[in-house]
Each structure stands twice: as C-alpha cells, then as structure tokens.
Amino acid sequence: MASKDRILRQKEETRNNILGAAYDIVKDEGWNGLSMRKIADRIEYTAPIIYEYFSNKEAILEELTGKGFIKLAKELQTAKGKFEKPEDQLEAMWMTYWDFAFTNTEMYQLMFGVQMTCCAQRCSAQEAPYKLFTGVIAEIMKDSNPSEDIIKQKYFTFFSVIHGLIAINIINKSDILETINAQILKDAITGIIKSIQ
C-alpha cells in the first residue's frame, strides 16, 4: 500500500511540475511562447512523458484555468470573511478581484481571454467566484426580493465595468492610467452598490 501511495504522490508531483513549468514559461515569454517541447525542456523530461499527463497544450491550459478560478474563489472568500455588512463584503471582494488580476496577470488573461483565446471548455471551478458574488448581491437586495435574473444582471454590471478596466490596464500598461482607473474602480463599485441597496 505504501508503494501505491508513493507512486500516486510522484504522479501528482510530476503533474504539478508540468503545470508549474508551463506557467513559468508563460511568465517569461507570454502565452504564445508556451509549447509542449518547451515544458519538457524546462523540467528535463521527454515530450512523451508530458503527453502521458496532458494530451495537448489545451489540456494544460484547461487545468491552469481551473486552478486560477480556485485560487480566485479562495481569495474572494477570505476578503468576504473580513467584513460583516454585505456592502463592505462586496466592495472588498471586487477590490480583491482587481488585485488578483494584477498579481496573477497571466492567469487572469487565460481565465478571461485578455489578449489571448481562453479555453473553450467551461470548467466547474469558474462557478465559485460567480456564486460568491451573486450570494452577496442577493443579500444586499433581499428586501426587494430580486429574481435570479436581476441578481445576475447586477453581477454582470459589476463584472463589465471592472473587467473592462482590468483589460484596459493589461493591454495599455501605464502608471497614470492605473491611478485613474483605480479611482474609477472605487467610484464604480460604490455607485453600483448604492444602486442595488
């Protein structure tokens, strides 16, 4: 039994090494620089070993996308947990979302298709951030007994503004633009929260 556990741990470690190497390559060269051959070279494996774990580059991208959404959901949950009032939770969560995008820029680009094609297949992990946000929005709006469609609409109002600002900042990196957008972000979050109270 111990040897089976060891083999499973080694397989998981190899899988994580492949994903880590892929992400390191992307940080150095961008998403266009990623290839199965480069991953194999980076971790000193043969390409066939990489293909034992991932059938193609798209499979690696899908796995990384899922990991990105899991990480984002954890960070949003932590931000939410710091406040009791739903309005404060929502503001903290969107600010965390913003920070996530710039702390994990390459991951965000993959997750949301900024300057690249994101994975065509939806992963189950991407539902968690959405559910966290809509849960808090529903709590803020509970007195008006909103439908699911209204809650979804409010979520996408937030998402459209914030994602748009993030995409502008990723595509046109500028300290001045970043400062302006940070203020626009704060104003937008505050304004949208006021509109749903």
- Please check whether residues 19 and 100 belong to one and the same domain: no
pLDDT of 174 reads 66
- Please check whether residues 120 and 186 belong to one and the same domain: yes
Kindly give the interhelix angle for 105-112 and 2-29, rounded to the nearest 10 degrees.
Answer: 90
- Please check whether residues 39 and 134 belong to one and the same domain: no
- Please check whether residues 69 and 130 belong to one and the same domain: yes
Q: Judge whether residue 96 has pLDDT over 90.
A: yes
Domain count, the chain: 2
- Please check whether residues 155 and 70 belong to one and the same domain: yes
Question: Is there a domain that residue 59 lies in?
Answer: no
What residue numbers bound the domain in which 186 lies?
Answer: 64-195
The model's pLDDT over 158-173, given as tens digits with 9 standing for 90+, comes to 999 999 888 888 887 7
Kindly give the interhelix angle for 86-103 and 175-196, rounded to the nearest 10 degrees.
Answer: 150
- Please check whether residues 151 and 171 belong to one and the same domain: yes
Work out the mean pLDDT of the chain and round it to a whole number. 88
- Contact at 8 Å (CB) between 23 and 109? no
State how far the Cα of 19 lies from the Cα of 22, in Å rounded to an integer.
5
The model's pLDDT over 115-146, given as tens digits with 9 standing for 90+, comes to 665 554 567 888 999 999 999 999 999 999 99
pLDDT of 1 reads 55
Band the pLDDT of 86: cuts 50, 70, 90.
very high
If you average pLDDT over residues 72-92, what whole number do you get?
97
CATH code assigned at 49: 1.10.10.60
- Please check whether residues 108 and 154 belong to one and the same domain: yes
**Domain boundary at 12, 31, 54, which?**
54
Question: Is there a domain that residue 189 lies in?
Answer: yes
**Domain boundary at 11, 30, 54, which?**
54
CATH code assigned at 141: 1.10.357.10
Residue with token string 């979302």 = 97
If you average pLDDT over residues 15-23, what whole number do you get?
94
Kindly give the interhelix angle for 57-81 and 2-29, rounded to the nearest 10 degrees.
Answer: 90
DSSP-derived secondary structure for 50-113: HHHH-SSHHHHHHHHHHHHHHHHHHHHHHHHHT-SSHHHHHHHHHHHHHHHHHHSHHHHHHHHT
Buried b (16+ CB within 10 A) or exposed e, 160-192: ebbbebbbbbbeeeeeeeeeebeebbeebbeeb
Other residues' Cβ atoms within 10 Å of the Cβ of residue 143: 7
State how far the Cα of 50 lies from the Cα of 33, in Å rounded to an integer.
17
- Contact at 8 Å (CB) between 12 and 21? no
- Please check whether residues 26 and 78 belong to one and the same domain: no
